Structure 1
Amino acid sequence: MGARPSSPLDKRQQQQLRGQVDSLLRAFLPCYRRQLAAAVLRQISRELGPQEPAGCQLSHTKKLPRVREHQGPLTLLRGHPPQWQPTFCVLRGDGRLEWFSQKEEYESGGPPLGSAALTGYILLTSQREYLCLLDDLCPSSSGDLAQEEPLRVLEEPVSFALFLVHPFRAHLCFCARTRGAQRAWRLNLQGAIRLRATGAWEQSRARVGGWRTTGMVLQRSRAPAACAFLDAVQLYRRRRGFAGGKDATLGSDAEVLSAELMRELLPGLRSQALRGLRGAGRARARACAEFLDAVHAAVLARASAGLRAFQPEKDALLAALERTVRAELEHILQQRAQRARRLQVEIRDALEACLCRMVDPQLSQLTLALLSPVEAMLGAVRTLLIRGMDRLSHHLRKNPSGTRLRREVYEFGEIPWDPELMQICYREAERNRNHLAQLAEPFGFLGMRSLVFGVQDVAQQLMADAVTTFLQLADQCLTSTLDCGQAAEQLEKVRGLVLKKFTSDSETTRWRFTRDWLLDIFWPFVWNELGVSYNLEQPEVDGDILATEGVCRDVIQGLLLQRIDGELKKILGACNRTCTRADCSVAQWNQEGVDEGATAQLLSHSSYPDEEGPKHWSDSRYEHVMKLRQAALKSARDMWADYIMFVDSDNLITNPDTLSLLIAENKTVVAPMLDSRAAYSNFWCGMTSQGYYKRTPAYIPIRRRDRRGCFAVPMVHSTFLIDLRKAASRNLAFYPPHPDYTWSFDDIIVFAFSCKQAEVQMYVCNKEVYGFLPVPLRAHSSLQDEAESFMHVQLEVMVKHPPVQLSQFISAPSKTADKMGFDEVFMINLKRRRDRRERMLQALHEQEIDCRLVEAVDGKAMNTSQVEALGIQMLPGYRDPYHGRPLTKGELGCFLSHYNIWKEVVERGLQKSLVFEDDLRFEIFFKRRLMSLMRDRMQVEHPEKAVPRVRNLVEADYSYWTLAYVISLQGARKLLGAKPLAKMLPVDEFLPVMFDKHPVSEYKTHFSPRNLRAFSVEPLLIYPTHYTGDDGYVSDTETSVVWNNEQVKTDWDRAKSQKMREQQALSREAKNSDVLQSPLDSAARDEL
């Protein structure tokens, strides 16, 4: 009975097959080489700018992914003709199934009758379903029916069947003795199939930032070669016109590649096999499967040999790429960025149309469909975890024997690998399989099997990590308990902590899993849609591989992820990080939870015996701070906190996401880079062998954010986060200093040394603006200096950010504003510039400066008749010295605003007045300095002449701005007496003319006398908030229209502006603390 080919593969067939496999390998290896280049580039880019997945709360299990070994008698359909024969089967921990003639043969170490690695198999338990599959495999009844009978042995009823089916491998048909045995084998076999498939899915998750497990060879690593292989398979499939899901990429490298080769060979092979087989129907179908199994074995052997032969070339290529990429990384990344920008412009409209037409209508429904099994799985895992922890606590309360307790602990630790217990979690993924398949079908997604395996694998991984965490914490706390009652109480605390960590990891997993699989469903479809019109693959074939490979994919996936993230935020909220934005928001930091055991002590000292002043850091003060930090660290450890964040009281954290962003970096010690008015920040890039600050070329690019990322540094201080979940953090201490410590007695250096001895790398991140800190003052400074320095930090925040608000839980003394001895303080502001007005009023309030708000004249709103009614005429021959244009309406309005103030000064007889514009920033100690000098300064082009016997005062030269100035009654009269409206020019050009310092002599001939006396402060007390060309730069004077022709628009030349280049030099000077020579402005120990 049955049917089989006379010979599975004759010599001619074997030779033909080798040629086909070699041809396919030659087509695949160029894809592999390209992807090796791209993978090495990604790896090195990650090293220089780490973008690691958010840190998990649960401890990661060190147990390898495995199948619980299972054995027992099964009846196997084997032989020719096939007959049901008793066997003894063993399922190995690595997912291989072996069968022996009898149990004694297995126990004596004899060889098995046969074996199969269960990669790519499907398990069926219905005989009817299996027979239908055979009918589909061989629908034709052609053949020599006279010579072979149908396969009647399978058509007879079979009890407790287990059918293992593969598209191109021999089918394995088993029968169990009882229903219970069938169920046990089914659960274990399903686990083995999933384990053998997990390799490809694990690697896919690692590439997009999801979960990653380690273990046997099937569990792929994040090494460039491992990443490159699966990318090469996908690229190869696209070039062959096939872009389905992930179900064709299951197993080891050789298995994945042989499966891909078999997919291409299968149509021809099946036709060839059926022509040469005898028999009918199902008998021919089984014979065909046996023939394909022989072919697959030959293909697998040839593919394995091909990959082994490629290994030396691959190793040499990886080494060469490592050298090339590291040497030219910056240039390569620039080229890729340019390519990405061009591509975005090219495909933006077509991509947007594709997304709106196909993706958007299905996105919400698919997201909910994916979330449903994940959330059900997470709930089932949580229930099973709670049941296991409660069972262990119950047995502990009953004071069991040591042997019984060890058995209970072992059983608890085995929960993740017990298929019977985990089945309740696994089946949630199966329930939604058909619904998901229907929704994904329009997008050609064929990876449903991998998706189901993925949900089940996440369930097992979460359970394994939760069990590991519980056992670790329980072991730590139980070593110090005295009796079972105490131990049970400790376990209750551990239970609550583990559930808290599990909840956090569940939220992260839910977000990421859904996000990654939505991307896998949509992006191949979108790629194919765009590829028809744009031939996306071709540009990546030409030119520099490193500069082009994967750019198209990255651009499309990036735009897709924006859509997906937006949908997930609508459904789930912003919980894609381990710590949600709501949990970590500055606005949410309140007094909730103060009754949960957390205590705080207000410790202060009025003075230290060895201090020289309130700002002197003596050894006693350093020691006191170290003890406070150590007490805080101990308190955090005692309450089982996951993290502790240290923030100096004068550091201002302005980014509400700072905490969640730091947690997402997954570092043991990490600091957000804080900005200051100088080059000073809260990290060092270099440290001498004696523990002192060392200047390095790397500091300034990081400080200026020319390089962005998260960088390894020898020192962070002031504000930083410690991840207490990391084992290495247990060796960190602020006090007492390490026994080997011999460096300077300084709290930040002591802690840096502790990190060094514990082999904990410190990191500083500058990816975003996180906050600000003051530049430390010298030891001789006063508390008033410190208060004004801190207040100046608040002013700096307001330049580009909302003002820092006082906490509702603290109070501050009220402020009393004055006019600093002036008769009047004017502040000019356009009514439509509300943001500037509010910032300036707040800044003046903080400095206790009283002002009168003056509504500026809006030149853009003035019409020709209004200009003529005022008798305004432009100065003959005037041209802007930088752009060569005439006066603008913006400059006209600015002049009139100042002109109206000069008139008021004269009308009211004000002896001395101070005028502010609304786009300035104050230098430190502004009020104190101004009150002592009573003068203003304009920025100069050439050195200015000092005024005898007056410190910090010079005679003014040509100015750039009228940001702020002091004007006397006599000076106002001189300016009005020049009749400037009849020969108008910009106010910052008019003033140098009046004190006879304008470089254009033609302008000066129109004004006489030019006897205005002008002085300037050196160094500066104010600067503009933005220089020409800065981000956020807006000019109401230059971005305008010509004063007498509204059709002629004006703007500053962004490419050729000489004014911009000169202001950039001034900007660098303004940000350089060395310019400020006042002793009040000196910086402390480590300021650059």
Structure 2
Amino acid sequence: MGGSSSSLLDENKCNYIRGRAEAELKNFSPHYRRQYAVAFFRQLHDEVEQHRTVQTQLLKHRHTEPGKVLHEEVMTHYSAELKKWKERYVLVRADYSLEIHENYDSFLNGASPKIRLLPAGGAVLMSEDQYSALADRFFPDPSGVSEENAPPMVSMPDQFPVYLWQPYQKHSYFCFHGADSQKSFAAVLGDCIRHQNHDYQKKTKCEVRAFLEAVQFYRQEKGHYGSWEMLIGKDVQVLSNLVMEELLPSLQTELLPKMKGKKNDRMRAWFAIVEDAYNVVMSQVSTGLAALEEECRAATKQQEGLIRSDMDQIINSKNFLAGKLKATVSQPAVKCCMENVQPYLSSILEELMGPISSGFSEIRFVFEKEVNKMSKDYQESSSIDKLKKGLAELGDLPFTSLKMQPCYRKVDVLCEQLQELRNRFKFSNTDRLVQITQNYMQQATANMIHTTITFIGCVLESGPVLMKWNTAI
């Protein structure tokens, strides 16, 4: 955010924060050790069973190299250190990280980026009013006094701003000369946030499965059984979010009353304090979690031979215990579902499937439009080189944020429509539902295009190119 936390976060307070992070990690560790052993066993069992991959209608798109550049642009960026606006070269990698370089020449010369952002949990805002409203929401001002005609937190040099809000971290500010550039970059940032939020959770590695299950059981131990909005980003970020959730109330009580000055000055100072605290937590959690993972890897490695030799006995014991548990809880669970869930499923599914079906229909429309354009260009020129160029452009479609935006917007309405989920099932995290759906939409588009390009590539290799394409899918 800029600003300084000055002496409000001194060494004693930093030590206190480290202690809170260490205590949280200590309480979390038994859950992680237990779930790591479970995940490791499942991994060995899957190796023994050799489950076959299910055949799908579409070929799965190969993952793009993480270092590939998906978007690059020179734009005006606010430097919090210099407290001034600078022209910067900004790029987005295929791992959906954001790099801000001094300029294009420094990038070509191999210089490290001045800033690298992983915008998990971020929000993209395109007006000062939106940003100010969000800042007010996250600034628990004890005075409760609003200031009329207060200057903006950051004065924009042009009328097309993009604000990147990140919880617990420094916010980023960009500005553009035109609305098209503003909308294009905002769409790119939206893609980055979606993937940074949820891509880690799709991984099947033993450590990832163990961590996510441990977080679930750890929160349940504290009485939290619902969906958690801060289950975003990688393991260190998620565990740091857990610490910050417990830590923030005490920091607010102790530090906010001591802050003086105008509201904007106090707001800057408070966000700087939160960022400093988060950095202390992240550092402590990163070191502790790495040691915990190594401990679990070593422990399970020692047990691997015994597990493999006793695999059948373990499976039989597991199935026996599962049967006993099922017999105990099945009847009341079924009764509860029939009375409290089943009557509302139809209406909820109808609310869900309307926007989702509309989104996938829009994907089909965009895909057909691009393929028809490519087909027409080829038929007019009969140029193989032009066809190959068209195929390359088609392959970039799933990663061209602005072209995919109309598809994603179709499901954005779910955040407002699913009131029944919130009221009846206490499900508040509709943002997660929308973002994961949009990620699946992007993956389906990539699979569809990859299948099409592969088919056309086979035709190119085996004989004359078909002059007319059937784009029906």
Q: Given the two structures, how large is their TM-score scaled by the length of structure 2?
A: 0.89
- Corresponding residue for residue 36 of structure 2: 36
Q: What corresponds to 2:167 in structure 1? A: 167
Partner of 1:251: 233
When residues 477 and 11 of structure 1 are mapped into structure 2, their CA distance, relative to the original with a 3 A threshold, is: same
Name whichever structure is richer in helix by fraction.
Answer: 2
In 1: Cα distance, 2:164 partner to 2:293 partner: 33
Question: Residue 185 and residue 462 in structure 1: after superposition, are their counterparts in 2 closer, same or farther (change >3 A)?
Answer: same
The CA deviation at 1:49 is: 4.4
Number of the residue aligned with 2:357: 375
Whole-Å Cα distance in 2 between the matches of residues 356 and 402 of structure 1? 60
The 1:392/1:246 distance shift into structure 2, 3 A limit, reads farther
2:17 corresponds in structure 1 to 17
Q: CA deviation at 1:449?
A: 2.2
Question: Secondary structure of the residue that 2:463 maps to in structure 1?
Answer: coil
Are residues 52 and 36 of structure 1, via their aligned partners in 2, closer, same or farther at CA, if it must alter by over 3 Å? farther
Deviation at 1:440, TM superposition (A): 3.5
Task: Assess if the C-alpha contact under 8 Å between 1:5 and 1:278 holds in 2.
Answer: no
Partner of 1:308: 290
Cα deviations by residue, 1:955-994 (Å, 9 ceiling, x for unpaired)? xxxxxxxxxxxxxxxxxxxxxxxxxxxxxxxxxxxxxxxx
> In structure 1, what is the equivalent of residue 133 of structure 2?
132
* Residue 411 (structure 1) aligns with: 393
Instruction: Tell whether the 8 Å contact from 2:160 to 2:179 is kept in structure 1 after alignment.
Output: yes
- Displacement of 1:149: 12
**Pair 340,395 (structure 1): closer, same or farther in 2 beyond 3 Å:** same
Name the CA distance, whole Å, in 2 between partners of 1:144 and 1:431. Answer: 34
> Is the counterpart of residue 358 in structure 1 residue 358 in structure 2?
no
Deviations 1:624-676 (A, max 9, x none): xxxxxxxxxxxxxxxxxxxxxxxxxxxxxxxxxxxxxxxxxxxxxxxxxxxxx
1:464-483 map, 5 Å: 464-482=446-464
Go from structure 1 to structure 2 and tell me whether the alpha carbon gap of 1:472 and 1:113 turns closer, same or farther (over 3 Å shift).
closer
1:69 — aligned with what?
71
Give me the whole-angstrom Cα distance separating, in 2, the residues matched to 1:471 and 1:252: 33
Q: CA deviation at 1:137?
A: 2.2
Q: CA deviation at 1:198?
A: 2.7
Distance 1:280 1:144 in 2: 10
Structure 1 residue 479: deviation in Å?
A: 2.1
Of 458, 466, 487 in structure 1, the residue corresponding to residue 466 of structure 2 is: 487
Note the C-alpha offset of 1:245: 1.7
1:27 matches 2:27: yes
* 1:289 paired to 2:271: yes
Residue in 2 that maps onto 1:45: 45
Give the 3 Å change call, closer, same or farther, for CA 111–398 of structure 1 in structure 2: same
Question: Is 2:60 aligned against 1:60?
Answer: yes
**Offset at 1:111?**
4.9
Cα RMSD for the two superposed structures:
3.0
Name stretches of at least 5 consecutive residues in structure 2 with no aligned partner: none
1:53 CA drift (Å): 6.6
> 1:430: how far off?
0.7
Deviation at 1:407, TM superposition (A): 1.9
Q: Shift in Å at residue 88 of structure 1?
A: 1.3
**In the alignment, which residue of structure 2 is the partner of 1:935?**
none
Residues 760-794 of structure 1, C-alpha deviations (whole Å, 9 max, x = no match): xxxxxxxxxxxxxxxxxxxxxxxxxxxxxxxxxxx
- Match of 1:487, SS? coil
Residues 250-282 of structure 1 show CA distances to partners (whole Å, capped at 9, x for unaligned) of 222222222222222222233334234332334
Tell me, in whole angstroms, the C-alpha distance in 2 between the residues paired with 1:58 and 1:352.
37
Q: CA deviation at 1:58?
A: 1.0
In 2, Cα distance between the equivalents of 1:51 and 1:112? Answer: 43
Q: Which residue of 1 aligns with 2:85?
A: 85
Following the alignment from structure 2 to structure 1, what is the Cα–Cα distance between the partners of residues 430 and 375? Answer: 40
Deviation at 1:334, TM superposition (A): 2.6
Q: Does the 8 Å CA contact 1:5/1:291 hold for their aligned counterparts?
A: yes
Aligned pairs for 1:228-627 (under 5 A) are 228-436=210-418, 438-482=420-464, 486-489=465-468, 491-492=469-470, 495=471, 499=473
- Cα deviation code 1:157-203 (max 9, x no counterpart): 8722212112311222332221111111101111111121232442x
**1:823-868 deviation line (CA, Å, top 9, x unaligned):** xxxxxxxxxxxxxxxxxxxxxxxxxxxxxxxxxxxxxxxxxxxxxx
2:445 match: secondary structure: helix
Residues 112 and 476 of structure 1, relative CA distance in 2, 3 Å threshold = closer
Aligned positions of 1:972-1011 closer than 5 A: none
Matches within 5 A, 1:812-823: none
Question: Max radius of gyration: which structure?
Answer: 1
Distance 2:420 2:84 in 1: 38
8 Å Cα contact 1:138-1:285 kept in structure 2? yes
Q: Deviations over 1:473-504 (max 9, x none)?
A: 1111222324xxx5224x44xx55xx2xxxxx
Instruction: Classify 1:143/1:450 alpha carbon distance in 2 versus 1 (closer, same or farther; 3 Å).
Output: closer
The change in CA–CA distance for 1:120 and 1:321 in structure 2 (over 3 A counts) is: farther
CA distance in 1, matches of 2:420, 2:177: 37
Please name the residue that 2:122 is paired with. 121
**Contact 2:96–2:118, Cα closer than 8 Å, also in 1:** yes
The structure-2 alpha-carbon separation of the partners of 1:335 and 1:110, relative to structure 1 and needing over 3 Å to count, comes to: closer
Counterpart of 1:130, as a letter, is Y
Contact 1:3 1:277 in 2 (8 A): no
Does structure 2 conserve the Cα–Cα contact (< 8 Å) formed by 1:162 and 1:174? Answer: yes
Structure with the bigger RCO (C-alpha within 8 Å, sep 6+) is 2
The residue aligned with 2:96 is: 95
* Residue matched to 1:824: none
Q: Flag the 1:405–1:18 CA change in 2: closer, same or farther, 3 A.
A: same
1:31 Cα deviation (Å)?
A: 0.7
For residues 728-787 of structure 1, the C-alpha deviation after alignment (integer angstroms, 9 at most, x for no partner) is xxxxxxxxxxxxxxxxxxxxxxxxxxxxxxxxxxxxxxxxxxxxxxxxxxxxxxxxxxxx
Q: Deviations 1:901-931 (Å, cap 9, x if unpaired)?
A: xxxxxxxxxxxxxxxxxxxxxxxxxxxxxxx
What's the offset of the Cα at 1:343?
A: 2.2
The whole-number CA distance in structure 1 between the counterparts of 2:102 and 2:457 is: 46
Separation of aligned partners in 1, 2:127 and 2:92: 24
Q: Determine helix, strand or coil for the equivalent of 1:398.
A: helix
Asked if structure 1 preserves the Cα contact closer than 8 Å seen for 2:128 and 2:152, the reply is no
Q: What's the CA shift for 1:22?
A: 1.1
**Deviation at 1:315?**
1.6
Give the residue type in structure 1 aligned to 2:141.
S
The change in CA–CA distance for 1:271 and 1:181 in structure 2 (over 3 A counts) is farther
* Secondary structure at 1:479 match in 2: helix
Task: For residue 174 of structure 2, give the secondary structure of its aligned residue in structure 1.
Answer: strand
Residue type of the partner of 2:76?
L
Q: Is the 8 A contact 1:98 1:115 kept in 2?
A: yes
Check whether the contact 1:170–1:290 (CA below 8 A) recurs between aligned residues.
yes
Residues 156/41 of structure 1: CA separation in 2 closer, same or farther (3 Å cut): closer
In structure 2, do the counterparts of structure 1 residues 416 and 233 end up closer, same or farther at CA, with 3 Å as the change threshold? Answer: same
Tell me, in whole angstroms, the C-alpha distance in 1 between the residues paired with 2:398 and 2:254: 46
C-alpha distance 77-137 of structure 1, shift in aligned 2 (>3 A): farther
Q: Deviations over 1:523-550 (max 9, x none)?
A: xxxxxxxxxxxxxxxxxxxxxxxxxxxx
1:884-913 CA distance string (max 9 Å, x none): xxxxxxxxxxxxxxxxxxxxxxxxxxxxxx
Paired position in structure 2 for 1:178:
178
SS at structure 1 position matched to 2:452: helix
Cα deviation digits, residues 549-601 of structure 1 (max 9, x gap): xxxxxxxxxxxxxxxxxxxxxxxxxxxxxxxxxxxxxxxxxxxxxxxxxxxxx
CA contact (8 A) 2:142 2:257 kept: no
Q: Matched residues, percent identical?
A: 26
**Residue 235 (structure 1) shift:** 1.2
Q: Work out whether residues 170 and 293 of structure 1, in 8 Å CA contact, stay in contact via their aligned partners in 2.
A: yes
| Rounded Cα–Cα distance in structure 2 between residues aligned with 1:259 and 1:294 | 14
- Summarize the Cα distance change of 1:50–1:437 in structure 2 as closer, same or farther, 3 Å threshold: farther
* TM-aligned CA distance change 1:102 to 1:389, over 3 Å: closer
Deviation at 1:419, TM superposition (A): 0.8
Distance 1:433 1:374 in 2: 12
Matched residue count:
468
Letter in 2 for 1:122: A
1:443 Cα shift?
A: 2.0
